[in-house]
Amino acid sequence: MPRLRPSLFWTARRDISPFAALLLRVCRDVPSAANELRWIREHIALTSSPAPPKFRLWKLCEKRAKGTPLQYVLGTQPFGGLEIKCRPGVLIPRHETEAYTTELAQILVRHQPSSSTPLSILDLCTGTGCIALGLLSLLPSPVHIHGIDISPTAISLANTNLHHNTRLGLLPPQPSSIHFTPADIFSPFLLPFLTQPTWDLLISNPPYISRGAFARETARAVRNYEPRLALVPDRDGETAVLGCASEDVFYARLLQLAGILAPRRVFFEVAGIEQAARVVDMVRGDARLSGFYPQVEIWRDSPHEEYEMQRVRNYEVPFRGSGGARGVYLCRHDQR
Amino acid sequence: MLAAPWICRSCARSLRSAGVPRLLRRASTIATLPPALVERARKIAAEHDKLTTALETDFDQKTAVRVGETSRVATALREFEKANASLAELGSLLESNDAELRELAQDDLESTQAQLADLGRKLSVALTPKHPFADMPCLLEIRPGPGGTEGRFFADSLFRMYKSYCDNKGYPTRIVKYDVSESDGQKGSEGEVALQEAILEVQQTGAYGEFRGESGMHRVQRVPATEKSGRTHTSAVAVWVLPSFPETPSTDAESEWDNPESDFYIDVTEVRVETMRARGAGGQHVNKTESAIRLTHMPTGTMVSMQDSRSQHTNRREAWRLLRSRMAQQKREAREELAQNLKSSVLASSQITRGDKIRTYNYQQDRCTEHRSGLDVHNLPNVLEGGEKLGEIFESVQGWLTERDIQTILAEEQAEAAPKGKKGKGALP
């Protein structure tokens, strides 16, 4: 991290508040320090605690200044119209996830076969449950959603989030059937759980950072505070069996499941263009999968309807949106 | 202009009718409905047919609106051509050898010709573009010209005339402004007060179309109540007619957002959305708290950025709301400027003189003369009560306006046709 000029700290201290100067350590620029300070103050104003507000402000700012992600400091992160609770041990929802979830919900609404049959969605590696709950809030009921995560902490947080948002009135009061189940997606006993005849959407934001990238490319707040379990696939045994790069092992397994379950649409979040290209290769290289999914797209950070064709390794692939490559989208039908 | 300082009215009228071609009157025979107009009508009708078939396959708001606009012309043209065809048929019957048949045809011929003339006029009316504000309610602004209290009294008479005309027609009205000069304390012969300025809003859809011919200088010739030696005075009152824009609803009118007619409508493809996050790795690698959204409306360069909330979703919604209301504001301002230009083109404030009058109210002769259409109406009291005589004047002015519009179209068509003709000749081998 480049050294900050002392004048920045003086400016923040003089123009905004000493707390802003404290937050500058992690925020790295004055406007975002001012923003974060405002959000911390709003949080204190909205929540009650026996401690005096000034003390709480100092405590929270100090915690944040040490590098704790703001979402863990405040305990929540907005996701679409929802308020998702965040706790250490569970990955914090990202803006990119919010963007593609919204876009997918629009696609599902547009292509819903009929309003009477409920849409069924399988969310693997659900974490806070943000994708499942986000889709629940955006799709017309009834919806059938099944969220699966290996971590019991994540499953309990996902259930907490369901009740929290229902209580806030952000979700329909009688949740369409939505379950969160703790399970390992590599387990051979997983399939009997997934009894739905045909899933409309298989969506997953699996761990996808390679060990090297985790050491070098991740932000300090991510590396030090967010669970490694949700970020780096440490699955050496399965990697050897599936025969792929260690960071792609979840995609290999997810595509295996897609080949069995044959959901109508599939979406995986990926790290960037190289990983997206590798996933496209995996789909195209498998005769069964490429038969199922004639349509393979790469979505960028902010996806929208228009797409452009681009050559990625061996294949011409439609790219949607703007920004870095963020996801791979498969669709069984020729309708977009 | 004429060199003579004064010309008697009947001479002036005969001079004018010689100079200005009377299109509507000539349209009473088919031969005189200009081919350029018919050609234009055919073009529009063809477009209408094409759009209607396009609309059957997939619905599009803009196309639907255009079809609605052109249907008037298409229907009028269809009827006109039908009448034309039957006339041609009658013509062939007239040449037949059967005497009885000829007689029958002769009987029908006149009625068909009359019908054709009527349809031709309808067609030319349909062809004239509707004034963009024609469907709106309007504001009538009445101000006396320079001079004494006589003009002010007459301004009040005019105000009452319009007010009672609207009452007779059942149009809802609202007096926006009614300023009386208190200092005088006098009353006119019919109890008028000395009016300084009055604004009457006619809250009827299409009122602007009906009243727009009224804007201009109204001249009065009478012996004022204050005049002791019985001389006739001439004074003038200016009338402006402005379209009245409905107030912006205080609610955000979110339902209006998808309506292309609405001020709040923005073509989504014209807006660039930027999330202001640093480039580099994203996704799980970083954990950014920045949630700022910047929207740029590219055609106008209007930019809105929003970063207040932690939720990108909320920021986006607020940014769109802000952008929409800014754009609506801009559109509104542009429209008001247009209306303002309209006002100054109708009559500059400094131009309130007795010269370019549009109408004269002469009390001594019990006469009201509409100078543009050349209509003389007697029974002035009925006019000033806003009775049917005023309605007649309105109609004649509408006729005059239509005629003027048709001539503009004709000029356009001729200007369009001229270079084409030259090109056509050049292309011939």
One domain, residues B93 and B167: no
- What would the pLDDT profile of A254-265 be if each residue is shown by its tens digit? 999 999 999 999
Residues B210, B213: Cα–Cα separation, whole Å: 7
- What's the confidence (pLDDT) of residue A302? 86
Query: Rounded to an integer, what is the distance from CA A33 to the centroid of its chain?
Result: 25
- A271, B291: Cβ pair inside 8 Å? no
User: Residue range B318-339: average pLDDT?
Assistant: 79
Domain housing B152: 138-247+371-407
Integer angstrom CA distances of residue A264 from A139, A204, A316, B40: 16, 14, 22, 53
Percent of chain A at pLDDT above 90?
69
- A230, B284: Cβ pair inside 8 Å? yes
- What's the confidence (pLDDT) of residue B136? 77
Which of A72-81, A191-200, A270-279 shows the lowest mean pLDDT across its residues? A191-200
Residue B15 has pLDDT above 60, yes or no: yes
Judge whether A190 is closer than 8 Å to chain B, CB to CB. no
- What's the confidence (pLDDT) of residue B355? 55
- What's the confidence (pLDDT) of residue B279? 57
Residue B258 has pLDDT above 70, yes or no: no
Structure tokens at A144: 């059938």
Integer angstrom CA distances of residue A47 from A36, A52, A64, A84, B308: 16, 12, 18, 16, 19
One domain, residues B173 and B107: no
One domain, residues B41 and B117: yes
Is B387 inside any structural domain? Answer: yes
Our CA dihedral for B42, B44, B45, B46, rounded to 10 degrees, sits at 90
Which of B11-15, B87-91, B317-321 shows the lowest mean pLDDT across its residues? B11-15
Which residue would you say has higher pLDDT here, A197 or A330?
A: A330
One domain, residues B147 and B242: yes
**Which residues in chain A touch residue B287, judged by CB atoms under 8 angstroms apart?**
69, 71, 92, 94, 219, 221-222, 226
Q: What single string gives the DSSP state of each residue in A279-329?
A: HHHHHHH-HHHHHH-SEEEEEEEEEEEEEEEEEETTEEEEEEEEEEEEEEE
**Which residues in chain A touch residue B288, judged by CB atoms under 8 angstroms apart?**
95
Band (pLDDT 50/70/90 cuts) for residue B183 is low
One domain, residues B213 and B165: yes
Residue A156 has pLDDT above 90, yes or no: yes
- Taking the CA of residue B275 and the nearest CA in chain A, the distance in Å comes to 9
User: Residue range B323-341: average pLDDT?
Assistant: 77
- What would the pLDDT profile of B358-369 be if each residue is shown by its tens digit? 899 998 888 999
- Nearest by CB to A36, from B282, B289, B313: name it: B289
Structure tokens at A316: 């011409």
**Which residues in chain B touch residue A226, judged by CB atoms under 8 angstroms apart?**
287
Q: What is the DSSP letter of B283?
A: G
- B284, A271: Cβ pair inside 8 Å? yes
Judge whether A80 is closer than 8 Å to chain B, CB to CB. yes
- A95, B288: Cβ pair inside 8 Å? yes
Count of domains for chain B: 2
- B287, A92: Cβ pair inside 8 Å? yes
- What's the confidence (pLDDT) of residue A331? 92
Judge whether A96 is closer than 8 Å to chain B, CB to CB. yes
Is B69 inside any structural domain? Answer: yes
Selected for mutation to probe chain B from A94, A274, A302 (highest B CB count within 10 Å) is: A94
Domain of B401, CATH number, reads 3.30.70.1660
- What would the pLDDT profile of A121-154 be if each residue is shown by its tens digit? 999 999 999 999 999 999 987 889 999 999 999 9
Structure tokens at A275: 């990983």
One domain, residues B229 and B378: yes
Residues of B with CB under 8 A from a CB of A: 273, 275, 277, 281-291, 307, 309-314
- What would the pLDDT profile of B208-222 be if each residue is shown by its tens digit? 888 888 888 888 888
Residues A137, A134: Cα–Cα separation, whole Å: 5
Residues A285, B185: Cα–Cα separation, whole Å: 98
Is B338 inside any structural domain? Answer: no
Residues B215, B77: Cα–Cα separation, whole Å: 32
Is B286 inside any structural domain? Answer: no
- What would the pLDDT profile of B142-178 be if each residue is shown by its tens digit? 888 876 778 888 898 999 999 999 999 899 988 887 8
Band (pLDDT 50/70/90 cuts) for residue B62 is confident
What is the pLDDT of chain B when averaged over all its residues?
Answer: 77
Helix ranges restricted to H, chain A = 6-11, 18-27, 30-46, 53-65, 70-74, 95-110, 130-138, 152-167, 211-216, 220-225, 236-242, 249-261, 273-285, 287-292
- What's the confidence (pLDDT) of residue B303? 86
- A218, B286: Cβ pair inside 8 Å? yes
**Which residues in chain B touch residue A35, judged by CB atoms under 8 angstroms apart?**
289-290, 307
Residues A307, B308: Cα–Cα separation, whole Å: 31
One domain, residues B220 and B157: yes
Percent of chain B at pLDDT above 90?
3
Cβ contacts of A135 within 8 Å, gap of 6 or more: A101, A104, A105, A108, A121, A123, A143, A145, A201, A203
Report angle CA B279, A66, A225 to the nearest 5 degrees: 65
One domain, residues B240 and B382: yes
Residue A54 has pLDDT above 90, yes or no: yes
